[in-house]
């Protein structure tokens, strides 16, 4: 292992570029939402659904977002109960 002193700068080292990554994600999310928006006007896209609720506007997007945030928040709460020292069992 060597010390990273005068090594080359990487693209991600610049905080501005991290913002760019964030905005790219936003754009990608907007793009994949387009089909649902179009389907509001009955253009182009026909989802093959198994359950009625899959037709809810942006069902998958919202489900993904809500589940993810919910999972992380619940896990954070659980940490208060479950977390112990690293050498707890030793």
- List contacts with other proteins (CB under 8 A): 1-4, 7, 10, 12-13, 21-22, 25-26, 28-29, 32-33, 35-36, 45-51, 54, 58, 60-65, 67-69, 71-76, 78-79, 81-90
Least distance (Å) from other proteins to the CB of residue 16?
14
Least distance (Å) from other proteins to the CB of residue 40?
14
Contact of 66 with 60, CB cutoff 8 Å = no
Q: Give dist(CA 64, CA 68) in Å, integer.
A: 6
Q: Give dist(CA 73, CA 16) in Å, integer.
A: 28
Q: What residue has token string 């905080």?
A: 15
Contact of 47 with 55, CB cutoff 8 Å = yes
Least distance (Å) from other proteins to the CB of residue 13?
8
């Amino acid at each position: 292992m060597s010390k990273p002193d005068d090594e080359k700068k990487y693209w991600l080292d610049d905080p501005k570029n991290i913002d760019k990554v964030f905005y790219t994600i936003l754009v990608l999310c907007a793009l994949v939402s387009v089909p649902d928006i179009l389907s509001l006007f009955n253009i182009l896209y026909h989802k093959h659904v198994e359950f009625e609720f899959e037709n809810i506007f942006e069902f998958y997007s919202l489900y993904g977002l809500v589940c993810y945030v919910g999972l992380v928040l619940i896990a954070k709460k659980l940490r208060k109960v479950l977390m112990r020292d690293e050498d707890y069992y030793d």
